[in-house]
Amino acid sequence: MTKTKLISWEHFNYNFGDKHSPRWWGRKVAAKISDAVVVLSKADYDVWKADVKQKERLKQIYNFPCFDLKKPRFDVECKTVLAVGRLEEQKGFDYLLDIWKLIENDKDFNEWKLQVVGSGSLEQQLRDKENNLGLKRVKWLPFTEHIEECYKNASIYVMSSRFEGFALVLLEAKAFGLPIVSFDIKNGPNEIVQNGVNGYIVPPFDISMFAESLKVLMKDDKLRAHFTEDSQRNMYQFSKDKIVANWIQLLEELTE
């Protein structure tokens, strides 16, 4: 009888969590006893190589976005910057409010608003910070089943996370043709966004540079239109067909 095969599918980046915590040990044990370890990003693959002695057991397979690709649509009248995510420390919305303060301080961008979609334990803390900063153009929405409409009605997507397993929201934003500004955290953004082609990747937690990159896109309609047109340039590697094919190949290898 063929032995049942075990796959450890990582949804966090390698360095997530406290070292030697129960979660940390659980991941170590799972990786050791599994026939294959699947990680989400190329960056994480490179880190995991030191832990997985039999390199053929280690595989990198992206996630694919929940939405099919939409024809990129540029609307010069749309002045909405969108951010989606849980209102928790990981997502860095405190950074985003500091960034948006620099935007609201500049009268050239009075028509623009920031829309944050999400729920979480830090909601009141973030609302308090919004008030303390004197922000006037931030709109908060709880998570919704109609998130597709939020993407459709936005002009730019921003991600201010401290860390991610992969940053699937960036693929969702690209599926709708949105230019992106994101911190260059270790896992995801620089594999998804082509810097200067369909978005900007900013050194981690550089508030001023993030705001300046955002301003460049906000004030230049032609550049925004160009980034929108090129938003899906590298999306095949993240397509459902490609990802499903990778999983089928792995399962076939394990059952040969």
pLDDT per residue as tens digits for the range 46-83: 888 887 777 788 999 999 988 887 777 778 889 999 99
What is the predicted pLDDT for the residue at 95?
A: 99
In a domain, 188, yes or no: yes
Assess whether 198 and 113 both reside in one domain.
Answer: yes
- Look up the domain containing 180 and give its range: 80-229
Cα→Cα distances 70→147, 194, 233, Å: 14, 19, 13
Domain count, the chain: 2
In a domain, 207, yes or no: yes
Assess whether 102 and 162 both reside in one domain.
Answer: yes
Kindly give the pairing relationship between strand 156-159 and strand 180-183.
parallel
In a domain, 73, yes or no: no
**Phi, psi angles (nearest 5°) of residue 26:** -60, -40
In a domain, 69, yes or no: no
Pairwise CA distance, residues 31 & 48, whole Å: 10
Strand partners, 182: 159, 201
pLDDT per residue as tens digits for the range 6-54: 999 998 888 887 877 888 888 888 888 899 999 999 989 988 888 777 7
Pairwise CA distance, residues 171 & 153, whole Å: 17
Which one-letter DSSP state was computed for residue 8? E
Assess whether 90 and 164 both reside in one domain.
Answer: yes
Q: Look at the pTM and tell me if it is higher than 0.85.
A: yes
Instruction: Enter the tokens of residue 74.
Output: 């540029």
Strand partners, 39: 60
Task: Please state, rounded to an integer, the average pLDDT across all residues of the chain.
Answer: 92
pLDDT per residue as tens digits for the range 114-144: 999 999 999 999 999 999 999 999 999 999 9
Task: Tell me the CATH number at 101.
Answer: 3.40.50.2000
Assess whether 201 and 123 both reside in one domain.
Answer: yes
Do 181 and 174 contact (CB within 8 A), yes or no? no
Assess whether 22 and 87 both reside in one domain.
Answer: no
What is the predicted pLDDT for the residue at 1?
A: 40
